[in-house]
A = this chain, B = another copy of it.
Amino acid sequence: MKKSFLFSIFIVLFSAFRAEGKQIEISKYARFETRFVVPVKANPFNVAFSAVFSQRNRHVPVDGFYAGDGQWAIRFMPDMEGEWTYTTTSDLPELNGKKGKFTCVAAKPGAHGPVRVAKLTRFQYDDGTDYMPFGTTCYVWNHQGTQLEEQTLQTLAVSPFNKLRMCVFPKDYIYNRNDPEHYVFVKNEDGSFDYTRFDIAYFERQEALLDRLADLGIEADIILFHPYDRWGFSKMPREVDERYLKYYIARISSFANVWWSFANEYDLMSAKTEADFDFYFKLTQARDPYGHLRSIHNCNRFFDHAKPYVTHVSIQSGSLTRVSEWLRTYEKPIVVDECGYEGNISKDWGNKTAIEMIHRTIIGFLWGGYVGHGETYDTGDDILWWSKGGILRGDSPAMIAFFRNYLEKNEFSFAKFYPSGELGPDMREGIRGKNGYLCYIGNVQPAYRYVVLPAGRWRAELVDVINGTVTDLGVYEGSFRLQLPGTPYLVVGFYKN
């Protein structure tokens, strides 16, 4: 069990026994939680319970939730230091009109708050810290039992990834046939699910894992619906979906590191229409007090990402050079969460080489977007990183680690796409950051390029992401022929000298 979870329990006990007026301190972007013990009549999940958290003239409505064992809970993630008060509202008199307060103190090191869209097409944390997503996918790592989950967390701890795509519901697909220990809903005696009652154990387990990810600096891109299903979760009635989303948001929106992904491959969900997803987006936007990022991921057909409640564009595509076109189309951050997986399985989406994976990754980033990693090496144990987590195989993570470090060190967080031709007749499009340009040579082997640089003297360097090396190419100005090694997959950087 994890320290954050223990800490929550501590808060619960503390809240339950504290005298009015005692000073409670919560660090910025951490989670305040208070609980109320009330005798349970009827279905406790049907009780209306909410609160408003206030700081002077600012009032933030927040949903509470039934937390099991006769306890109702309210959670809140403060994003401003200073005193916060709250008052509850409920149709249960015992839960109505409860008041309390706490003081929000400085954020702990490493706590930067939720990730936000910044300057239309880029990201930063709520506190203004730069953020570039370097994601990976372990769809149902969180449904595999403690042993494998711990291994996944250990692997993530030394990986370059700061975003993880993962599903609320279990997955029924190749290499994904096992049942989880817990489901979102409890079961009826006949084995069917009781869509009116949530499984508290499921949520407590998931929350502990989300906090573990937060400790590793990893954003949880939570997939709320997906089509790979034998249990019925992909075709629940809308009122059940609504109930599920409200409960999920009430419990989990106070976690700073969550993003809402409304579906994986939404267009394969035969029981849903775009209007259903519109409804989930709008419901979530209304219920989530923190405005976590909202997106939806396609298989073949893009969702209309221009809709105002879609915060950024989540894409499955192998056509990475289209990123700049999508930037123009949507004027939102473009995250190609799925561009293919490094692996060796029979399906072509899951047997890309490491070089192809990093090639696609570089293109996506240098055409102005972000690209997620995935891995599907089948080594015979039915545990593939992409689905269950475990151990990370293949060569692309090390390349991505180098690339992430290079982009961060050279401050490309707020880089902008520049069009082909800006750096001379044969230099391709790429990104212009705070300190300079990055241009990808690509899967071609020029021995030279004709370059035309803006005014001033520029230092050129050759970045070999595959081999993890940076080579100085000297200082240039104006129009010149840049000699290159005549090998593929190289990036050229130009920095103000």
Contact = CB atoms under 8 A, between A and B. Distances in A.
Given A378-B447, A447-B378, A442 B348 contact: yes
B378 A348 contact: no
Contact of A353 (B351, B428, B444): B444
A445 B351 contact: yes
A328 to B, nearest CB: 20
A486 B352 CA distance: 10
A450 interface: yes
Interface string A435-453: 0000000111111111000
Interface stretch (A236-244, A253-261, A339-347): A339-347
Nearest to A377: B447
A374 to B, nearest CB: 14
Contacts of A446: 344-348, 351
Nearest to A348: B444
Given A378-B447, A447-B378, A426 B348 contact: yes
A153 B388 CA distance: 60
Given A346-B450, A450-B346, A486-B344, A352 B426 contact: no
Contacts of A425: 346
Number of this chain's copies in the complex: 2
Interface residue range, chain A: 20 to 34
A346 B426 contact: yes
A195 to B, nearest CB: 35
A353 B443 contact: yes
A197 to B, nearest CB: 40
A288 interface: no
A488 interface: yes
Contacts of A426: 346-348
A406 B460 CA distance: 46
A488 B355 CA distance: 11
A444 B486 contact: no
A356 interface: yes
Given A346-B449, A426-B346, A449-B346, A444 B352 contact: yes
Interface in A323-372: 343-348, 351-353, 356
A343 B346 CA distance: 33
A357 to B, nearest CB: 11
A352 B443 CA distance: 7
Contacts of A378: 447-448
Contact of A447 (B345, B352, B448): B345
A353 B488 contact: yes
A218 to B, nearest CB: 28
A174 to B, nearest CB: 10
Interface in A472-497: 481, 486, 488
B356 A443 contact: yes
Nearest to A378: B447
Contacts of A450: 346
A84 B284 CA distance: 87
B346 A445 contact: no
Contacts of A488: 353
A16 to B, nearest CB: 56
Nearest to A425: B346
A452 to B, nearest CB: 12
A349 B356 CA distance: 20
A443 B443 CA distance: 12
Contacts of A448: 344-346, 378
A334 to B, nearest CB: 22
- Most-contacted residue by chain B among A343, A443, A444 (CB, 10 A): A444
Contact of A445 (B344, B428, B444, B447): B344
A486 B345 CA distance: 9
A141 to B, nearest CB: 22
A443 to B, nearest CB: 6
A448 B486 CA distance: 34
10 contacts: A343-B445, A344-B447, A344-B486, A345-B448, A346-B450, A347-B446, A351-B444, A351-B445, A351-B446, A378-B447
Q: Which 9 A-B pairs have the closest CB atoms?
A: A344-B447, A346-B426, A351-B444, A351-B446, A344-B486, A346-B449, A351-B445, A353-B445, A346-B446
